[in-house]
Structure 1
């Protein structure tokens, strides 16, 4: 994937969010593939803290096996988040992730209203433990349509605790796409709540929890903020940049104030955190050995093709040694390096950092000798 600057990426992410918000797909190519896999905006409100990472599941979410998010789309509108959060993060829809190896976003169930899933069994999808009744998936209660859901909801006095959620897990045998569309259709019956001021207007989807400490693998598309939340969003951005090495833009989200309005997504360079002083935990996003014919040797030679992290591309001289140490630790013991080691790998790295930070892939050849920085630059980082 071609390298894009943070500014280019921020603009593109805001455009993607607008497209996803306006994409009213009913499925993603099959009845077993709900539309949240390829459209809409999957978001979670969070609170910044120096003591934990907002994207790591809480101990309760880990114990339950799932975390709560909401789904925002032109046919699934609301005007605030649970607990009236002012910032949080947005996940890529599963089929729109830029890298296939990113953590899978597995949606388990969906409620048209905030369902208090922290008090429910079955990963937050089933029985609410503090009520005498036994709640269950809507399908298990014979509820298959938005009209039936609304009848059940009204018969229980509009109680969120007594409401049911639809099983929308994607699988070849299921009809999760149809079930999820009934969730969105049900929101037409709760429009007054969707635009209330109580901080409970959002719908709720449950996503399988992922392990903590894996920022580099998480499919986070953006950090967002509502009015008053930009500073917390910027702190999350800095923390994610340090942990995962990847620039994820801060986007201003404005919820619709009325059912007739639409959400907006705005990127501004002024909303981004200062990242120049961040110390990277990862300098290399990926790397691989490739063999090519080299004219100067008149023979095949090994090349280490490195894709740096965003953080790795932006470092100053004080982090050069740490970058090289990561490269040496991960690839220095390989036969490709040891058998052709001419001593110039570090010099090539310094040259690349100095001259071609934005190049998509950095190619380093172990056979090249060490030399002065000036000679390396003059040779286009191909030390001779």
Structure 2
């Protein structure tokens, strides 16, 4: 049986698209899409426990460059060396229209129970060239987070970004206050095109070869990325024996998330 929240969003989606509401407990792909859309539309600045919004709303995604890698979920040696794995965070008020890649993975909210909890190390309003930063977050000039470097409000951030841009600017701590601020400053970029691009969230590397313990919720594709998403679905099934749904993301439409049985290489048991 559907929960009340899933039933509500199913009905809203059905009304908007003028299609039947056909989600059931036996249809995990469609249930996932409804959860993703619900979190995407939830723009609360913090969770009920006062922690950063990434723990309870929005959607955490990671573009995967080599989808033919049978262990695509593992941090790379470079990720381990720099102590960071790069993700993006999408939410209705983030405003981006583009993703870092056309296929990848989606994580469940970090505040939900998981056999392998994940830890956010730092956040950026824009792609920040974290592969060249000190431990993925700081720079030689700004080894400390933004608020300890004098960047504490919109005017000081605008001046800072104008001088250092995204690749050399300071980083934000992943507290509720500064995580939300990293979203709010996106409305104040010097060039509107910046807001259409993705932000960056750095998460600490996790142990290798534990796909069934990670909080993986789905795989995604956009544009021409379906076959690459199918490669990852095959790899995940081979490693775990479990179905993980492929969903389409289109940030220029409403709703943003779509699930089609024909997109799946395999079907849920």
Q: How many residues align?
A: 246
Q: Choose the corresponding residue for 1:139, options 147, 153, 167.
A: 147
Larger Rg: 1
1:244 offset after TM fit, Å?
A: 2.1
Change in Cα spacing, 1:47 to 1:209, as seen in structure 2 (3 Å) is same
SS at match of 2:160: helix
* In structure 2, C-alpha distance between the alignment counterparts of 1:262 and 1:39, rounded to whole Å: 18
SS at match of 1:68: strand
1:73 offset after TM fit, Å?
A: 0.2
* In structure 2, C-alpha distance between the alignment counterparts of 1:223 and 1:101, rounded to whole Å: 18
**Is contact 2:46–2:53 with CA below 8 Å preserved after alignment?**
yes
Partner of 2:75: 57
Q: TM-score, normalised by structure 1?
A: 0.60
* In structure 2, C-alpha distance between the alignment counterparts of 1:135 and 1:112, rounded to whole Å: 17
* In structure 1, C-alpha distance between the alignment counterparts of 2:224 and 2:26, rounded to whole Å: 23
Q: CA RMSD in A?
A: 2.2
Residue-by-residue CA offset, 1:217-239 (whole Å, 9 max, x unaligned): 01111100001000110110111
> What 5-or-longer segments of structure 1 have no aligned partner?
169-175, 196-200, 276-309, 315-384
**Is contact 1:6–1:249 with CA below 8 Å preserved after alignment?**
no
Q: Choose the corresponding residue for 1:35, options 45, 49, 53.
A: 53
1:127 aligns with 2:139: yes
Q: TM-score, normalised by structure 2?
A: 0.84
Change in Cα spacing, 1:51 to 1:8, as seen in structure 2 (3 Å) is closer
SS at match of 2:34: helix
Partner of 2:7: none
Q: Choose the corresponding residue for 2:107, options 82, 91, 98.
A: 91
Partner of 1:152: 160
SS at match of 2:212: helix
Where in structure 2 are the equivalents of 1:249-288 lying within 5 Å? 249-256=245-252, 264-274=256-266
Deviation larger for 12-21 or 134-143: 134-143
- The higher relative CO (CA closer than 8 Å, separation ≥ 6) is in 2
1:62 offset after TM fit, Å?
A: 1.0
* In structure 1, C-alpha distance between the alignment counterparts of 2:254 and 2:69, rounded to whole Å: 35
Residue-by-residue CA offset, 1:323-377 (whole Å, 9 max, x unaligned): xxxxxxxxxxxxxxxxxxxxxxxxxxxxxxxxxxxxxxxxxxxxxxxxxxxxxxx
* In structure 2, C-alpha distance between the alignment counterparts of 1:12 and 1:20, rounded to whole Å: 13
**Is contact 2:25–2:31 with CA below 8 Å preserved after alignment?**
no
* In structure 2, C-alpha distance between the alignment counterparts of 1:49 and 1:78, rounded to whole Å: 24
1:187 aligns with 2:186: yes
SS at match of 2:89: strand
**Is contact 1:74–1:262 with CA below 8 Å preserved after alignment?**
no
1:192 offset after TM fit, Å?
A: 2.2
* In structure 2, C-alpha distance between the alignment counterparts of 1:146 and 1:91, rounded to whole Å: 30
